[in-house]
């Protein structure tokens, strides 16, 4: 009796590392169900789809599923998987301009954990499923697998074929090139290639309000308005498979010289090996962990941890209070911290939506929390608003492609599209400083490199910037509020090419996402989707607004912890002293007595800050009550790009200003900027 010839489906995973709400795993499980159909139809709950409009009937012929996660050599340094690292056939995975690693220690750990979690989940299905891990270029890995099966008889005398190669789509240019290469290889080997919509975004691609991505509006607000009410938009989630096709009997080993460790610990070690050779990442003074401060992002990677985080946010009421807390900078729950899970595809945006929907309708976790069963609230609405920003950035990547990585981004497109709308001033093309070539007379790339080095090691002399960059280096995370300031500082105050900052963030961020990172950098640098290009954050005013008691700066710049920020106003009452706060925000403003007391006299970043930002306090009362918690006391004031729940892009941009050294003092209700003086060292 001749046995059925195995027909393998090869599934190449990238940023879709989850079992739930995964269109490919769902489709495979659906085939199994269809085969046993009639007997036991799959049960679904009301939140789940059992249809998959993109399922492929030809795929019913698959007998085995081979899921393979590839650590891509162009983005992740893979020489740690080779016994003698100099034998790696790939160039080092470093960025183009700054030459830093493309994936840093925090994200490496997070990715490894996510991959391992999926491996455990697949093996736990008890149906012979599992996950293979490889390192190399995606093209090489796929080629190797296809060739191995086409020349091997599978070790048992029976010819085995890869009948299909599937993957989900991704918008980055490199990712698109990988898709093209895999498609070509599949064709050469006679395997069906299928590129699936990943479905991890808030709005499904099939429901976009335009036919082609080139019709995407250049301004976020226009896009959002075309989709409101946002709560009605997401599709249902796909059911989580309980059974999949088994792995093939024979699986090609990783191609020499690569070896894949068999434990999570081993995997992490291999990934970290090349980076561990210089844990300072060339910084002569790398940030050191201060005592008594914890990371705001202690989460393990993976689908399990992602689902736990969503439940936690709902059951603690953090989704509901999100709008009020989202501009915080210290602590675990001021914002969702779901970005890294979303970036790696450990979680989908619509899973977050439906979990919030359950809460809003009084189902599942969160009973007893305010707002339970009471419909959408400002917090859950603001989370949806932000999730749509993520979608938007990704669509921009689809629309603008390589321009998202170009020095002048989409400045020309924005000027053209907003010309007649009244709020766009066409700005001349800015001359950025770079670390590799001079932009003209007086511009010294060596000096720019020194400036960049001080910026990334958290030694600029501007408290908010330094706290954020030290936090980022040590933990892989920093808040959205801080990111905007740090990016604005590099690009507008230091005039450094924004792409160098974007590369540093790509290296450091746990939640790095190609579209969100480059899109946001481009936006803040004034060459992206901001209809009012050329705005600048004042990091002193921002610190005043969002770190009014200096807790964030003191947490990450421990040299300043001993600074007393209050003064006695009689009857034993202490009040925050604005002048002392100014010394915390920029230590050069401290008296010699204070500097000596803190032991920071003659320290470079104190005495010679990269820039002096003049800032005076007006007559009005800044928020200086004694509310000693971690939340900014004046949230919701002056939101621009960072505002939540409808604030973004509308109203007057109170925290933004054009750099103008001759700006006059304008006394108003709050602190006002007098002038900003550039003092490059």
Ligand X SMILES: Cc1cc2nc3c(=O)[nH]c(=O)nc-3n(C[C@H](O)[C@H](O)[C@H](O)COP(=O)(O)OP(=O)(O)OC[C@H]3O[C@@H](n4cnc5c(N)ncnc54)[C@H](O)[C@@H]3O)c2cc1C
- Give the residue, chosen from 383, 396, 553, 606, that forms a contact with ligand X under the rule CB under 6 A: 383
Q: Which of 344, 434, 517, 635 binds ligand X (CB under 6 A)?
A: 517
Token pair listed for 223: 């896009």
Q: Is 550 exposed, middle or buried (0-12, 13-18, 19+ CB in 10 A)?
A: buried
Altogether, the residues listed in the chain come to a count of 681
Q: Is 389 in the site for ligand X (CB under 6 A)?
A: yes
Closest approach, Cβ 649 to ligand X, in A, equals 12
- The residue within the footprint of ligand X, chosen from 62, 372, 455, 505 (CB under 6 A), is 505
Residue written as token pair 């989707």: 529
Tell me how far, at minimum, the Cβ of 519 lies from ligand X, in Å: 7
**Radius of gyration in angstroms for the set of CA atoms belonging to the chain, rounded to a whole number:** 26
Q: Contact letters (x/-) for ligand X, 576-615, by CB under 6 A? A: ----------------------------------------
| Cβ 534 to ligand X shortest distance, Å | 16
Give me the sign of the Cα torsion angle 415, 418, 419, 424: negative
Q: Of 137 and 339, which CB lies nearer to ligand X in the complex structure?
A: 339
By C-beta, is 326 or 399 nearer to ligand X? 326
Binding site listing for FAD: 322, 335-339, 511-513
Please report whether residue 656 would count as binding ligand X according to CB under 6 A: no
469 binds ligand X per the rule CB under 6 A: no
Is 511 a binder of ligand X (CB under 6 A)? yes
C-alpha distances (whole Å) from 29 to each of 4, 56, 241, 243, 645 are 20, 12, 6, 6, 38
Burial label, 215 (beta-carbon count in 10 A; 0-12, 13-18, 19+): exposed
Cα 663 to its chain centre, rounded Å, is 36
Nearer CB in complex with ligand X: 501/670: 501
226 token code pair:
């075309």
Task: Answer yes or no whether residue 524 interacts with ligand X by CB under 6 A.
Answer: yes
Q: Which stretch binds ligand X (CB under 6 A): 106-114, 135-143, 244-252, 512-520?
A: 512-520
Task: Tell me which of 8, 10, 125, 487 binds ligand X, using CB under 6 A.
Answer: 487
Interatomic CA distance for residues 228 and 407, integer angstroms: 33
Rounded to whole angstroms, the Cα distance separating 62 from 32 reads 10
Q: Which is nearer to ligand X, 393 or 600 (CB)?
A: 393
CB closer to ligand X, 495 vs 511: 511
CB-CB contact of 449 with 500 (8 Å): no
Greatest C-alpha distance within the chain: 98
Tokens encoding 571: 């009857």
Minimum separation from the CB atom of position 448 to ligand X (A): 19
C-alpha–C-alpha distance, residues 312 and 667, integer Å: 44
Q: How far is the CB of 521 from ligand X (least distance, A)?
A: 5
For residue 513, state whether it binds ligand X (rule: CB under 6 A): yes
Of residues 463, 465, 471, 512, the one with CA closest to residue 491? 465
Q: State which of residues 109, 309, 390, 549 lies at the interface with ligand X (CB under 6 A).
A: 390
DSSP 529: S
Stretch that binds ligand X, among 21-29, 32-40, 507-515, 667-675 (CB under 6 A): 507-515
- Least CB distance to ligand X at residue 404 (A): 12
- Whichever of 131 and 342 has its CB closer to ligand X, that residue is 342
CB of 505 to ligand X, least distance (A): 5
Residue located via tokens 């809460």: 359
**For residue 604, with 0-12 CB atoms within 10 Å meaning exposed, 13-18 middle and 19 or more buried, which class applies?**
middle
Q: Which of residues 225-244 bind ligand X (CB under 6 A)?
A: none
One of 81, 489, 521, 556 touching ligand X (CB under 6 A): 521
**CB of 482 vs ligand X, minimal distance in Å:** 9
Q: Would strands 192-196 and 161-168 be described as parallel, antiparallel, or unpaired?
A: parallel
Near ligand X by CB under 6 A: residue from 270, 387, 553, 610? 387
| Paired tokens of 76 | 């992740």
Binding mask 316-355 for ligand X (x = CB under 6 A): ----------x--------xxxxx--xx------------
Q: Does residue 29 bind ligand X (CB under 6 A)?
A: no
Q: Which is nearer to ligand X, 505 or 605 (CB)?
A: 505
Tokens encoding 246: 């088994």
# residues contacting ligand X (CB under 6 A) = 29
Q: In the complex with ligand X, which residue's Cβ is closer, 483 or 631?
A: 483
Beta strands in 546-585 (DSSP E): 566-568, 574-576
User: 531 to 550, contacts with ligand X by CB under 6 A?
Assistant: none
Taking the least distance from each CB to ligand X, the nearer of 127 and 342 is 342
Cβ contact 489:563 at 8 Å: no
φ/ψ of residue 56, rounded to 5: -115, 115
| Closer CB to ligand X, 144 or 386, in the complex | 386
Closest CA to 75 of 210, 175, 199, 197: 175
From candidates 323, 456, 483, 499, binder to ligand X by CB under 6 A = 483
Q: How far is the CB of 507 from ligand X (least distance, A)?
A: 11
Structure-token match 């808040």, residue found: 479
Interface with ligand X by CB under 6 A: which range of 87-95, 384-392, 406-414, 428-436?
384-392
418 is a contact residue toward ligand X (CB under 6 A)? no
Q: How far is the CB of 323 from ligand X (least distance, A)?
A: 10
Q: In this chain, which of 480, 492, 533, 676 binds ligand X, going by CB under 6 A?
A: 480
Which whole-number Å values give the CA distances from 505 to 223, 330, 499, 521, 525, in the listed order? Answer: 27, 19, 10, 9, 14
Shortest Å, Cβ 593 to ligand X: 37
CB 317 within 8 A of CB 369: yes
Q: Which is nearer to ligand X, 522 or 600 (CB)?
A: 522
Which CB atom, from 145 or from 502, has the smaller least distance to ligand X? 502
Least distance (Å) between residue 352 CB and ligand X: 8
Instruction: Write down the least CB distance from residue 338 to ligand X, Å.
Output: 4
Please name the residue that has the structure tokens 């050294």.
661
Residue of 320, 351, 418, 516 that binds ligand X (CB under 6 A): 516
Q: Is the peptide bond before 622 cis (omega within 30 degrees of 0)?
A: no
| Dist CA 140 CA 130 (whole Å) | 21
Nearest approach, Cβ of 386 to ligand X (angstroms)?
Answer: 3
Of 447, 451, 483, the closest CA to residue 611 belongs to 451
Choice between 300 and 575, CB closer to ligand X: 300
Q: Residues 512, 546, 552, 605: which binds ligand X (CB under 6 A)?
A: 512
Q: Quick one: 68 or 387, whose CB is closer to ligand X?
A: 387
b/e map of 256-294 (b: 16 or more CB within 10 Å)? eebeebeebeebbebbbbbbeeeeebebeebbeebeebe
Binding-site entries: 322, 335-339, 511-513
Burial (CB count <10 Å: 0-12, 13-18, 19+), residue 118: buried
Q: Should residue 527 be labelled a site residue for ligand X when binding is judged by CB under 6 A?
A: no
Distance (Å, whole) CA 483 – CA 219: 21
Residue 231 φ/ψ, nearest 5 degrees: -65, -20
The residues that touch ligand X, with contacts defined as CB under 6 A, are 326, 335-339, 342-343, 383, 386-387, 389-390, 393, 479-480, 483-484, 487, 505, 509, 511-513, 516-517, 520-521, 524
């Amino acid at each position: 009796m001749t046995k059925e010839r195995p027909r393998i489906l090869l599934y190449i995973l990238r940023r879709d590392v989850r079992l739930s709400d995964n269109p490919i795993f769902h489709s495979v499980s659906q085939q199994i169900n269809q085969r046993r159909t009639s007997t036991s139809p799959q049960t679904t709950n009301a939140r789940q789809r059992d249809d998959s409009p993109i399922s492929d009937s030809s795929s019913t012929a698959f007998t085995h599923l081979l899921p393979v996660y590839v650590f891509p050599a162009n983005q992740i340094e893979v020489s740690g998987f080779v016994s003698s690292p100099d034998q790696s056939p790939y160039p080092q995975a470093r960025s183009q301009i700054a030459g830093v690693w493309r994936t840093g220690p925090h994200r490496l750990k997070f990715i490894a954990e996510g991959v391992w979690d999926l491996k455990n989940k697949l093996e736990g299905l008890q149906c012979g499923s599992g996950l293979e891990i490889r390192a190399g270029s995606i093209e090489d890995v796929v080629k190797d697998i296809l060739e191995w099966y086409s020349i091997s008889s599978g070790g048992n005398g029976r010819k085995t074929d890869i009948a299909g190669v599937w993957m989900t789509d991704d918008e980055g240019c490199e990712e698109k090139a990988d898709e093209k290469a895999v498609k070509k290889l599949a064709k050469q080997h006679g395997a069906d290639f299928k590129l699936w919509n990943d479905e991890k975004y808030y709005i499904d691609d099939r429901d976009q309000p335009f036919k082609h991505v080139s019709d995407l509006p250049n301004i976020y607000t226009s896009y959002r308005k075309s989709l409101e009410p946002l709560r009605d938009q997401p599709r249902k989630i796909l059911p989580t498979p309980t059974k999949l096709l088994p792995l093939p009997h024979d699986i090609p080993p990783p191609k020499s010289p690569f070896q894949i460790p068999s434990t999570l610990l081993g995997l992490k070690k291999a990934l970290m090996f090349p980076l561990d050779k210089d844990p300072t990442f060339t910084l002569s003074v790398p940030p050191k962990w201060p005592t008594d401060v914890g990371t705001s992002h202690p989460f393990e990677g993976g689908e399990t941890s992602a689902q736990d985080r969503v439940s936690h946010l709902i059951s603690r009421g953090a989704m509901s209070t999100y709008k009020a807390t989202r501009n915080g900078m210290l602590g675990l729950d001021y914002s969702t911290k779901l970005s890294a899970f979303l970036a790696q595809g450990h979680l989908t945006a619509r899973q977050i939506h439906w979990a919030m929907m359950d809460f809003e309708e009084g189902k599942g976790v969160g009973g007893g929390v305010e707002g339970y069963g009471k419909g959408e609230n400002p917090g859950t609405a603001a989370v949806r608003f932000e999730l749509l920003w993520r979608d938007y950035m990704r669509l921009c990547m689809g629309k603008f492609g390589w321009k998202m990585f170009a020095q002048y981004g989409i400045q020309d497109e924005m000027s053209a599209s907003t010309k007649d709308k009244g709020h766009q001033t066409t700005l001349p093309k800015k001359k950025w400083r770079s670390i590799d070539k001079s932009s003209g007379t007086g511009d010294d790339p060596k000096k720019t490199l020194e400036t960049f080095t001080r910026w990334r090691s958290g030694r600029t002399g501007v408290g908010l910037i330094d706290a954020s960059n030290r936090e980022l280096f040590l933990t892989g995370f920093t808040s959205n509020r801080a990111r905007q300031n740090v990016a604005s500082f590099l690009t507008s105050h230091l005039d450094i090419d924004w792409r160098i900052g974007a590369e540093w963030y790509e290296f450091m961020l746990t939640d790095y996402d190609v579209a969100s990172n480059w899109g946001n950098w481009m936006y803040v640098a004034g060459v992206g989707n901001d209809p009012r290009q050329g705005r600048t954050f004042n990091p002193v005013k921002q610190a005043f607004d969002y770190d009014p008691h200096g807790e964030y700066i003191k947490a990450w710049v421990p040299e300043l912890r001993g600074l007393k920020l209050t003064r006695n106003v009689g009857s034993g009452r202490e009040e925050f002293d604005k002048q002392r706060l100014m010394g915390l925000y920029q230590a050069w403003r401290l008296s010699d007595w204070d500097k000596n007391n803190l032991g920071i006299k003659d320290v470079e970043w104190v005495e010679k800050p990269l820039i002096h930002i003049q800032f005076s306090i007006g007559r009005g009362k800044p928020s200086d009550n004694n509310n000693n918690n971690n939340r900014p006391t004046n949230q919701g004031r002056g939101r621009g790009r960072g505002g939540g729940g409808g604030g973004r892009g509308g109203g007057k941009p109170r925290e933004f200003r054009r750099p103008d050294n001759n700006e006059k003092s304008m006394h108003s209700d709050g602190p006002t900027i007098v002038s900003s003086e550039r003092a490059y060292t």
